[in-house]
Structure 1
Amino acid sequence: MAQAVQASIGDSEFDRDTAVTLRAPGVYDAELSAGWTVLRAVNGGYLLALLGRSLADALPHPDPFTVSAHYLSASQPGPAVIRTQTIRTGRTLSTGQASLVQYGEDGTEVERIRVLATYGDLDGLTDEVRTSARPPAIPPYENCLGPEDGPEPTFAGGSAITRRLNIRLDPATVGWAVGMPSGKGEMRGWFSLADGRDADPLSLLLTVDALPPTSFELGLKGWTPTVELTTHVRCRPAPGPLRVAITTRNLAGGFLEEDAEVWDSRDRLVAQSRQLAKAPR
């Protein structure tokens, strides 16, 4: 009998839209929501969270420590199947992989994304921190800019995900919205879910891929599809808005990297990521 995997926090839109149903051992049914799309394609961070929930159910440890995803084809809203496999389990860490597939009109199976991940228990980590990292210099929340502060950029196919996120961008990184990109390849801002749900390790997998792409500030427009994304979750985030800083240092050969840091309300680095993406054409 199919068994729904319970959401980890409340009944928020994010929890409902990342819910999966256990069909058979290691096999989950999912419904990719149209509410998390950009240019008709489902957002990569949302997909990562959905697979992350499946692996949290399949593995003996609850929290993602490191998740590496290869995006093989653009996911579309609608039914999907997630297959998980446990690769190794130990006392403090377990490793598994997951694959999300959808079916074409002719019934052909198409793999969308494949993930390799290691899970553990964030509550079991020590309190020791030795770091040279510092929180990003972002103006106070009330001095940053949201959609209501200027012309909302329009994209062919729309960007439904923006209505599910509360993002306020550093004014120094929004020149692209008025046709004056800085050319610096930086994006910074405050982030939270629009329905007020507090962040947790699972939602951090969305957060690292939720801000506008740095390519906008490089003067490029259009979809910036992710090829590969690796996320490290470093600790359980405290309640309150997150600060996200993303940088690109090298765009070459039609590809760019994005390095992201996510900081919580207690000035802790809670997540890091690096992705390789295709530059807009």
Structure 2
Amino acid sequence: MTFEFDRATAVTETDRTEDGARFLAELDAGWGVGPALNGGYLMATAARALRHTVPELPDPIAFSAYFLSAGAAGKAEVSTRVIRRGGTSANLAVDLVQDGATRITALASYGDLSSLPTGVQTTAQPPRLPSVDECLSTKLASAEMRKVATIMDRMDLRLDPAYAGWAVGAPSGEGVIQGWIRLPDGREPDALSLLWMLDALPPVTFDLGLPGWAPTLELSAHIRAVPAPGWLAIRHATRNVAGGMFEEDCELWDSAGRLVAQSRQLARLPR
């Protein structure tokens, strides 16, 4: 069985050299937010091309992407370059281009998460969340909202009611959005889907009473472990709005209670 996420991020290799490879992708309109495609979806597609470039080291460990223009549904070219290849890790570069315009350019470190120690030691605390059933499903969103943000149908997302008041014009003002997330068709999480989930929620500025599209300038992600099957707890937060920009920190905790992915992005305030 081929899951929707894997079909949507599929790439086809067209050329390979000692230094890298080229791929074609067909970007899916179902992963959109307004007129643009979700940035995490673009990262996951680029990350899959990197996985094919160094198949012996299949997992993104660190991924830092710059967003240069908005992605759109349709054909895209993905080119990868091997900067350094070692026995346990590789440093790589990737560009995703449409119609001559670079959508994202990224640097990444790849390895094999399954070969790493499984223990996680952390002083971080998982978010305090109501149960999945006590949270608010995005399936409750209006048909109009779902038409604008087609990505909502690509995930099963349950939002903590304490930080979902923005949906009815009553944001908490704390700059937090959190809840539970999983893929809706039974696909269990892995490194590539974690990379997408780190950018899957609405901009955290919604909870500050600032709705609208918030273009990402840069996003750095760290994938820390192979996630256990099941729901993931997700938390987005911001602490500083300055110069017309804000940072958004994201954490993903797996069903075993481990912090498996983290990210920070810098984005412009909604227009």
Any idea what SS the aligned residue of 1:217 has? Answer: helix
Counterpart position of 2:59 = 63
TM-score normalized with structure 2 length = 0.95
Q: What's 1:114 paired with?
A: 105
Counterpart of 2:227, as a letter, is P
C-alpha separation in 2, matches of 1:155 and 1:256 = 24
Q: Deviations over 1:46-81 (max 9, x none)?
A: 111101100011024111100000000001100000
Whole-angstrom distance in 2 between the partners of 1:69 and 1:101 = 13
In structure 2, what is the equivalent of residue 269 of structure 1? 259
Alignment map for 1:1-281 (pairs within 5 Å): 10-25=1-16, 26-59=21-54, 60-103=56-99, 109-149=100-140, 151-152=141-142, 154=144, 158-281=148-271
CA positional deviation for 1:152: 3.2
Distance in 2 between residues matched to 1:238 and 1:156, nearest whole Å: 29
In structure 1, give the amino acid aligned to 2:125: R
Distance 1:250-1:71 versus aligned 2 partners, 3 A rule: same
**Distance of 2:196 and 2:153 partners within structure 1:** 14
For 1:132, what is the secondary structure of its paired residue?
coil
How far does the alpha carbon of each residue in 1:218-262 deviate from its partner, in whole angstroms, 9 at most, with x for none?
001110111101110000011101110111000111100000000
TM-superposed deviation, 1:155: 5.4
The one-letter code matched in structure 1 to 2:76 is A
Q: Which runs of 4+ in 1 moved over 6 A?
A: none
Specify the alignment match of 1:6 in structure 2.
Answer: none
Q: CA deviation at 1:124?
A: 1.5
Separation in 2 of the partners of 1:115 and 1:237? Answer: 23
Q: TM-score, normalised by structure 1?
A: 0.92
In 2, are the aligned partners of 1:39 and 1:155 still within 8 Å (CA)?
A: no
Asked whether the 8 Å contact 1:152–1:177 carries over to 2, the reply is no
What are the Cα deviations for residues 125-165 of structure 1, in whole angstroms up to 9, with x where unaligned? 1244331011110110000001344x538559711110111
Contact 2:146 2:153 (8 Å CA) reproduced: no
CA distance in 2, matches of 1:221, 1:186: 13
RMSD of aligned residue pairs (Cα, Å): 1.4
CA–CA separation in structure 2 for the residues paired with 1:66 and 1:134:
22
Percent identity of paired positions between Structure 1 and Structure 2: 50
The 3 A distance-change label for structure 1 pair 165 and 102 is same
Structure 2: 5+ residue stretches without partners? none
